[in-house]
């Protein structure tokens, strides 16, 4: 739409709309398709009809003819271009449209055998949600800022994108710029050694999106909300991690309410699953069992989808069983639930300010 407003000539001469995964598939095969999971994140997609929102696009002046056929993950697009195969010395190889969206691939690798769980893709950002058969769109889901994105097997990833380890990463960057470098192991140990249940922050507050100095942003928030201002590095880190765990509870309870279903388990996948302290905090704060791993969920999910496409495995359920049997996971049970409950009451008051 910004291109329409700017009268960008590229839009008028465009013939085909391809997202980045689709573009690479085109380079490899010479065929043009739009893969489902990534198409759903373009804001050009109607999650109810599961097709392009052509009427809306036309009303906005966006040429609708550039939007092509949408194919589901695990679609065999064709063979590798002969010129590429010859250059690499390869035989005829099929090219598969995997789940092009990284979180969709990651969720495919959740090592679950039931559907009563919440997934949490943990990294710089945390994507927390559930898989549904159909999109959940109503006034409450809009108010909660939930989204309906495509998954594998026609599933809808009903989720919320929240701040993850961004605050910790930015504190680390700030201290490095001042001449002190810490590993992530160092940071976790510093947080673990700091006093529990000090000041809290709302990670979703806009001030934490791109501050010049994350440390100062955290301290300023605490001062403005009448809390003790953390000065020690460990206290700042613990504030960040405890607050993030409490945000997990906030969103998990929203998901339970919106779906009308309790989810007793949280599967934490992705790089953030390596943070054992945050995993335990998540279990404590939410009062739910946390299962952490695998770390490389996106790559694993991508492989599973390709295996389904090639008939090597029959279903996503079978693929998840393979993940269960192939990768180590760690289980965290809730501890100090009543104390964390008191902290959550403080946290909810901050959210309401």
pLDDT, tens digit (0-9, with 9 covering 90-100), for 146-185: 999 999 999 999 999 999 999 999 999 999 999 999 999 9
Q: Could you tell me the residue range of the domain that residue 151 belongs to?
A: 101-353
pLDDT at 320: 98
How large a percentage of the chain has pLDDT more than 70?
A: 100
pLDDT at 132: 98
In tens, the pLDDT along 230-289 reads 999 999 999 999 999 999 999 999 999 999 999 999 999 999 999 999 999 999 999 999
Packing angle of the helix pair 276-286, 233-259 (nearest 10 deg): 50
In tens, the pLDDT along 187-227 reads 999 999 999 999 999 999 999 999 999 999 999 999 999 99
Whether the predicted model's global pTM rises above the 0.75 cut: yes
pLDDT at 15: 97
pLDDT at 272: 97
Average pLDDT on 126-145 reads 98
Does residue 102 have an active-site annotation?
A: yes
Same domain, 188 and 336: yes
Taking the CA atoms of residue 71, residue 74, residue 80 and residue 85 in that order, the dihedral angle to the nearest 10 degrees is 160
Q: How many domains does the chain have?
A: 2
Buried b (16+ CB within 10 A) or exposed e, 136-163: beeeebeebebbbbbbbbebbbbbbbbb
Average pLDDT on 303-331 reads 97
Same domain, 37 and 171: no
pLDDT bin (cut points 50, 70, 90) of residue 134 is very high
Same domain, 87 and 216: no
CATH (domain of 281): 3.30.420.40
Same domain, 252 and 304: yes
Average pLDDT on 9-13 reads 94
> For residue 291, is it left (φ>0), alpha (ψ between -120 and 50) or beta?
beta
pLDDT at 87: 95
Mark which of 97, 116, 139 sits at the end of a domain: 97
Average pLDDT on 47-76 reads 97
Q: How many other CB atoms sit within 10 Å of the CB of residue 165?
A: 22
Same domain, 241 and 291: yes
Average pLDDT on 6-11 reads 95
pLDDT at 120: 98
pLDDT at 136: 98
Same domain, 69 and 114: no
In tens, the pLDDT along 336-351 reads 999 999 999 999 999 9
Environment class of 302 (CB within 10 Å of its CB; exposed 0-12, middle 13-18, buried 19+)? buried
Mark which of 68, 97, 126 sits at the end of a domain: 97
Residues 6+ apart with CB under 8 A from 85: 79, 91, 92, 93
Catalytic position from the list 8, 102, 213, 256: 102
Same domain, 218 and 257: yes
Same domain, 186 and 241: yes
Same domain, 231 and 108: yes
pLDDT at 352: 92
Mark which of 64, 97, 130 sits at the end of a domain: 97
Which among 149, 151, 158, 107 has a CA at the least distance from the CA of 130?
158
Q: What is the mean pLDDT of the chain?
A: 97
């Amino acid at each position: 739409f910004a291109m329409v407003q700017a009268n960008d000539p590229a839009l008028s001469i465009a013939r085909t709309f391809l997202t980045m995964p689709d573009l690479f598939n085109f380079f490899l095969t010479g065929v043009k398709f739009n893969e489902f999971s990534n198409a759903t994140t373009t804001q050009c997609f109607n999650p109810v009809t599961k097709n392009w929102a052509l009427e809306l696009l036309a009303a906005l002046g966006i040429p609708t003819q550039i939007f092509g056929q949408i194919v589901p993950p695990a679609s065999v697009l064709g063979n590798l271009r002969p010129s590429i195969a010859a250059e690499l010395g390869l035989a005829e190889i099929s090219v598969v449209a995997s789940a092009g969206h990284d979180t969709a691939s990651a969720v495919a690798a959740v090592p679950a055998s039931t559907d009563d769980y919440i997934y949490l893709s943990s990294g710089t950002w945390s994507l927390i949600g559930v898989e549904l058969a159909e999109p959940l769109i109503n006034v409450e889901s809009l108010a909660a800022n939930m989204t309906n994105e495509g998954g594998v097997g026609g599933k809808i990833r009903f989720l919320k994108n929240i701040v993850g380890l961004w605050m910790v990463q930015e504190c680390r960057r700030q201290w490095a710029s001042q001449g002190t470098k810490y590993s992530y192991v160092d940071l976790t140990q510093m947080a673990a050694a700091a006093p529990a249940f000090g000041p809290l922050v709302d990670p979703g507050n806009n001030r934490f999106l791109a501050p010049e100095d994350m440390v100062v942003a955290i301290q300023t928030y605490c001062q403005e909300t009448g809390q003790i201002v953390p000065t020690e590095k460990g206290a700042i880190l613990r504030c960040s991690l405890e607050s993030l765990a409490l945000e997990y509870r906030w969103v998990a309870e929203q998901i339970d309410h919106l779906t009308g279903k309790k989810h007793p388990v949280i599967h934490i996948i992705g790089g953030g699953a390596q943070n054992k302290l945050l995993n335990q905090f998540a279990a404590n704060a939410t009062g739910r069992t946390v299962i952490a791993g695998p770390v490389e969920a996106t790559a694993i999910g991508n492989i599973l989808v390709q295996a389904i496409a090639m008939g090597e495995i029959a279903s996503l359920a079978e693929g998840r069983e393979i993940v269960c049997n192939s990768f180590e996971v760690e289980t965290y049970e809730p501890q100090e639930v009543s104390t964390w409950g008191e902290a959550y009451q403080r946290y909810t008051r901050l959210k309401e300010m």
